[in-house]
Amino acid sequence: ALLVIDYGSQLTQLIAKRSRKVGVYSQVVAYDSDFSTIDLNAYCAFVISGGPMSVHDADAQGIPPALLASGKPMLFICYGAQRLAHEAGGRVESSQKREFGATLIRLVKPEHPLFCGWQMESKVLMSHSDHIEVLPDAFDALAYTDQGVLAAYAHREKPYYAVQFHPESEDTVHGEALFINFLQTIARAPANWSMPYYLEEEVKVLRERIGDRQVLLGLSGGVDSLVSAAILDRAIGNQLYCVFVDHGLMRANEAQQVRAYVEAHFNLNLIQVNASEQFLSALVGVEDPEAKRKIVGKLFVETFLAVAKEQIQSHHLTFLAQGTIYSDVIESAHGGKSQLIKSHHNVGGLPEELHLELVEPLRYLFKDEVRALGLAMGIDRALVMRHPFPGPGLTIRILGEVKAEYIPILQHADTIMLDELHSAGLYDAVSQAFCVFLPVKSVGVKGDNRSYDYTIGVRMIQSDDFMTGRFAQLPWSVLERIGARIVNEVAHVSRVVYDITNKPPATIEWE
């Protein structure tokens, strides 16, 4: 496996993902971890990531000496590369100007194994303000930018390799080749990480840990909880109790679909709770988005807890399974996101309240690996590749007060939009697509009659991580069909608008 040491770069997760993509399992730890408690021999190589620091900052962080002394191959990226040069006696200079974006670099030692498969000149992603002015002794330069800035270097004897650019970024054209060279050729890491392998191992681990005891899982209809259910089902079958709280604010038929799928394919016990009336009454008269989110989140937890407690009593449940994925693990270990933009509805804190032990079968997987695992287990592609859907569901897609009569209008419009997106073969090409209900009336003509009805907003987003995103530039013809069908087929809608704002400054959801 590869161990990635995170110095706070936005791109650190991409390093871990790149490594896994070329078949080498990877883990991420923070730079201030206690390395004496980590078994360094379990790793075949280390990466020192980039980060916002400058080596000249008073509190700039060094490279853990234990790693440097391990004798294992190390790749230093951006800040890592500057830090290595600085510690080895070179000179790093700060500049006011930040170099950001695609940059051409030229190899000066094209025969070096790190650059096997590269062209003499290639595009890479640069993102830095400091640069290495003088290389320390015992190091060779491997590449420069067209501006003459050192772009890559390596130690003559020790297995230290450093790049000023970001090979983990898609914008570095031969990034994958660099990872293959570093991991497979230089570090000789076995390329044995694959989903069938993970599946087999994880099923063994789960069986061993759980034995003949019973597990509780909250099923939400989302990919993570479904894949968690599937792998637990495979490991322990009917020792699994899944509670599905239907708040009535899912997409049309979504609750039924999930239920039908689970019943047809799994041995687990499914406990479905229809709580739509409670949710609707709790939302009466509430307009404020944050208040709506809080109400739904709180009621969801209460409903789940009540059912969970019954199940725990009657079936002597020992474990609570959660669909936590690796990005959540890394984020919370590093202090989490900086600022609360919207209170996301999640169910942290449940294990303590229920006195259950936590099982997290997806804890080591990134989102696209969760999907790959789902596919490896034969779950329907349509379920596995589904766009994300927020916990509070349509609550936050009906602007202002959620009235019962708005829900079927929005569900119908949303179904048409998805249907057209699928027909155009574009569903997988966008990251998220949905309709929002605007309780704003405008005038139209339907047939020979004047209409004065509500508005549907269509939102389609292209994004890698949903932290930022751009509105999808869909062909006009597809948008036209969506608009025409919604106005013609959905009662009480006289206008459809397309959301052309990016995130930031807008968020993806409207509330």
Q: Which residues carry a binding-site annotation?
A: 220-226
Determine which one of 78, 242, 369, 435 is catalytic. Answer: 78
Residue 7 CA to residue 155 CA, distance in Å, equals 22
Copy the structure tokens of residue 381. 């592609």
Beta strands in 247-322 (DSSP E): 269-274, 317-321
Which is nearer to ligand XMP, 216 or 508 (by Cβ)?
A: 508
Determine which one of 112, 166, 174, 345 is catalytic. Answer: 166
The annotation places the binding site for ATP at 220-226
- Give yes or no for residue 344 binding ligand XMP (CB under 6 A): yes
- Tell me the three-class secondary structure of 168-233, residue by residue: CCCCCCCHHHHHHHHHHHHCCCCCCCCHHHHHHHHHHHHHHHHCCCEEEEEECCCHHHHHHHHHHH
Residue 350 CA to residue 218 CA, distance in Å, equals 11
- Tell me the three-class secondary structure of 246-260, residue by residue: ECCCCCCCHHHHHHH
- Give yes or no for residue 508 binding ligand XMP (CB under 6 A): yes
- Give yes or no for residue 216 binding ligand XMP (CB under 6 A): no
Which is nearer to ligand XMP, 258 or 508 (by Cβ)?
A: 508
Number of residues that bind ligand XMP (CB under 6 A): 14
Sign of CA dihedral 62, 65, 66, 67: positive
- Give yes or no for residue 388 binding ligand XMP (CB under 6 A): yes
The helix/strand/coil state of 89 is coil
| Interface map 435-474 toward ligand XMP (x if CB under 6 A) | -------------------------------x--------
Smallest separation (angstroms) from ligand XMP to the CB of 114: 37
Task: Tell me how long the chain is.
Answer: 511
Q: Which residue has the tokens 């474990």?
A: 319
Q: Examine the residue annotation and report whether 166 is marked as an active-site residue of this protein.
A: yes
Q: What residues numbered 476-505 form the site for ligand XMP, per CB under 6 A? A: 503
Q: What is the dihedral of CA 454, 457, 458, 464, to 10 degrees?
A: -150
At residue 259, φ and ψ (nearest 5 deg) are: -60, -45
Determine which one of 86, 112, 168, 511 is catalytic. Answer: 168
Smallest separation (angstroms) from ligand XMP to the CB of 204: 30
Q: Examine the residue annotation and report whether 435 is marked as an active-site residue of this protein.
A: no
Which of 181, 228, 432, 494 contacts ligand XMP by CB under 6 A?
Answer: 432
Which of 294, 342, 403, 492 contacts ligand XMP by CB under 6 A?
Answer: 342
| Interface map 289-328 toward ligand XMP (x if CB under 6 A) | ----------------------------------------
Residue 98 CA to residue 164 CA, distance in Å, equals 13
- Give yes or no for residue 390 binding ligand XMP (CB under 6 A): yes
Residue 301 CA to residue 290 CA, distance in Å, equals 16
Residue 478 CA to residue 467 CA, distance in Å, equals 26
Which is nearer to ligand XMP, 17 or 397 (by Cβ)?
A: 397
Q: What residues numbered 15-54 form the site for ligand XMP, per CB under 6 A? A: none
Which residues lie near ligand XMP (CB under 6 A)?
A: 341-342, 344-345, 388, 390-392, 432, 466, 503, 507-509
Q: Which residues are catalytic?
A: 78, 166, 168
